[in-house]
């Protein structure tokens, strides 16, 4: 089973929930797909076992074969190629490596070269395996790194995937293929606004989901009213509590110091398994 922990907005405590659930259940794979700012390792303190570069394929134009017809530029929807009467420019930061420019080139003048855009890191802590990606500074495309991280999901163990915040392409790529998505939100107007967007994306992708309300008691009841109206299941509430915040500020998962929560997260994971079997 692949369980993705996501949120419509940043700062809801998504990574904290994912890490605490993983530590409480144990014997899992953990994948941090927030490749622009991975932080699960700060809470897990794992041992690094190895690294692996991630590359993107960028078009390389043979100027001797190219007749500057402009077919590649007209095809590219991301404006990664610009063709002038006697010159062609490639903008690697705009290229999505779709391969279309090479397919439409009548002169067969386009080949591919690899550009490193990030790194995968392989770690372990107790009976957990952790894989996370880091996008290189200045590189704009997170999705290829996320795909590379998810390629290491093995079928013989349950997996928890920590998603990047928001509902754009990195979120969509992360939740794709998940058996269940846990949406972490907070009882605030911003939390409700972004939860609605995330729910709509998951409904479109036909991925089962439930909600965890973090910092419960902080704001108002509109989150609960909305979930009740939409028949959205609230799986867990975590109170707005000083001890939890202090532990997080020290980089300590609160279920480690508050064992009563370990049992709650085990129940949460069991409930998710039950729901995915329906």
Question: How far from 111 is each of 105, 144, 228, CA to CA, in Å?
Answer: 10, 19, 55
The per-residue pLDDT for range 160-175, each reduced to its tens digit, is 999 999 999 999 999 9
What are the structure tokens assigned to 168, written together?
A: 């754009």
Whose tokens are 């269940």? That residue is 180
What pLDDT is stored for residue 37 in this prediction? Answer: 93
pLDDT band at 8 (very low <50, low <70, confident <90, very high): confident
**Do 41 and 32 contact (CB within 8 A), yes or no?**
yes
Distance CA 16, CA 163 (A): 12
Beta-bridged to residue 30, according to DSSP, are 130, 160
59 φ, ψ (degrees, to nearest 5):
-65, 140
Ordered structural domains, the chain, with CATH? 2-54+116-276 (3.40.50.300), 56-112 (3.30.70.20)
Strands (E), the chain: 2-6, 29-32, 47-61, 81-84, 87-90, 110-125, 128-135, 159-162, 180-185, 209-216, 234-239
What pLDDT is stored for residue 218 in this prediction? Answer: 87
The per-residue pLDDT for range 195-245, each reduced to its tens digit, is 999 999 999 999 999 999 999 998 889 999 999 999 999 999 999 999 999
What pLDDT is stored for residue 62 in this prediction? Answer: 95
**Do 80 and 97 contact (CB within 8 A), yes or no?**
no
Distance CA 200, CA 181 (A): 13
Number of H helices, E strands in the chain: 11, 11
The per-residue pLDDT for range 89-125, each reduced to its tens digit, is 999 989 999 999 999 999 999 999 999 999 999 999 9
Instruction: Assess whether pLDDT exceeds 70 at residue 278.
Output: no
The pTM (predicted TM-score) of the whole model is: 0.91
Mean pLDDT of the chain: 95
């Amino acid at each position: 089973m692949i369980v993705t922990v996501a949120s419509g907005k940043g700062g809801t405590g998504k990574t904290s929930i994912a890490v605490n659930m993983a530590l409480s259940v144990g014997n899992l794979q953990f994948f941090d797909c927030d490749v622009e700012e991975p932080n699960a390792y700060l809470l897990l303190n794992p041992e690094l076992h190895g690294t692996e570069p991630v590359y993107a394929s960028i078009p390389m134009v043979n100027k001797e074969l190219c007749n500057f017809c402009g077919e590649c530029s007209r095809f590219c929807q991301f404006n990664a190629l610009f063709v002038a009467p006697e010159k062609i420019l490639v903008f690697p930061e705009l290229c999505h490596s779709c391969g279309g420019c090479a397919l439409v080139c009548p002169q067969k003048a386009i080949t591919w070269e690899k550009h490193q855009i990030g790194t995968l890191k392989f770690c372990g802590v107790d009976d957990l395996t952790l894989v996370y990606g880091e996008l290189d500074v200045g590189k704009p495309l997170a999705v290829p790194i996320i795909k590379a991280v998810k390629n290491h999901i093995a079928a013989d163990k349950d997996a928890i995937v920590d998603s990047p915040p928001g509902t754009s392409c990195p979120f969509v790529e992360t939740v794709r293929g998940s058996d269940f998505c846990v949406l972490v939100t907070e009882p605030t107007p911003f939390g409700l606004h972004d939860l609605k967007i995330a729910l709509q994306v998951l409904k479109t992708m036909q991925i089962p989901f439930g909600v965890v309300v973090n910092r419960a008691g902080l704001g108002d009841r509109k989150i609960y009213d909305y979930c009740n109206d939409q028949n959205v299941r609230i799986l867990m509430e975590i109170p707005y509590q000083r001890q939890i915040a202090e532990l997080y500020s020290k980089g300590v998962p609160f279920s480690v110091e508050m064992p009563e929560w370990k049992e709650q997260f085990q129940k949460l994971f069991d409930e998710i398994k039950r729901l995915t079997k329906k």
